[in-house]
Amino acid sequence: MIITVDGPSGSGKGTICQLLAEQLGFHLLDSGALYRLTALALQRAELGLDNESLVADLARELDVVFTVVDKQARVILQGDDVTQAIRQESIGMLASNVAAMPQVREALLQRQRAFAEAPGLVADGRDMGTTIFPEAAVKVFLTASAEERAKRRYLQLQGKGENPDMAIILADIQARDERDCSRSASPLIAAEDALKIDSSRLSIEAVLDQVLMKITEYRQRVAR
């Protein structure tokens, strides 16, 4: 069973996917992390975005391991725990540019599909339900207003002891949304059969309840 949760940055899909995977006992795919890892590897190699084939080769050869330590997802790149490093704003912006490259998306296509193993998979991304797993049993498109997502990111950075600028965060989110929605390769759009949820005024628990209800409906339909 494959469950996809797509949506823009800051919509809460990462949290929802982790909760779903834990509650259902399913595998978890954070597809966005693969693009962030490519961006980090690109930065560490001091390479630019001018050679798409080179970036695609870098993505294809990533030495990456996803694991869970004390119920927390960890990302290991070449033996180095980069869980926090790939969440930097600069890496997120670079990853958005990397994700717009058709050759990179093709390089990571089969790698993402290989995560689909028994008993099931929860896939977090931007094109999981449209391109990677169009046959998914349950598809969710989770969004929130740009202002709400900027506020969430602002509070998150404040909690880490940083002094963020709300205007810059909002501008970055809007720019990333524009790139994600307008790219030619797998743009950020909701699958036609996806459950669409606006989380702007909803708690994580309320969103989770809606998704679990959708999963229950699917299982009941299949069992008939």
Look at residue 68 in the predicted model and tell me its pLDDT: 66
All structural domains of the chain, each given as residue ranges with its CATH number in brackets, are 2-211 (3.40.50.300)
Q: Would the pLDDT of 64 be above 90?
A: no
Share of residues in the chain with pLDDT > 70 (%): 99
Look at residue 224 in the predicted model and tell me its pLDDT: 83
CA distance 124 to 6: 6
Closest CA to 51 of 109, 101, 115: 101
pLDDT average, residue stretch 117-137 = 94
Q: Would the pLDDT of 69 be above 80?
A: no
CA distance 107 to 57: 8
The structure tokens 């028994």 sit at 118
Q: Are 4 and 116 in contact (CB under 8 A)?
A: no
Please give the C-alpha separations between residue 121 and each of 20, 45, 90, 172, 193, in angstroms, as whole numbers.
10, 32, 29, 31, 18
What is the overall mean pLDDT for the chain? 91
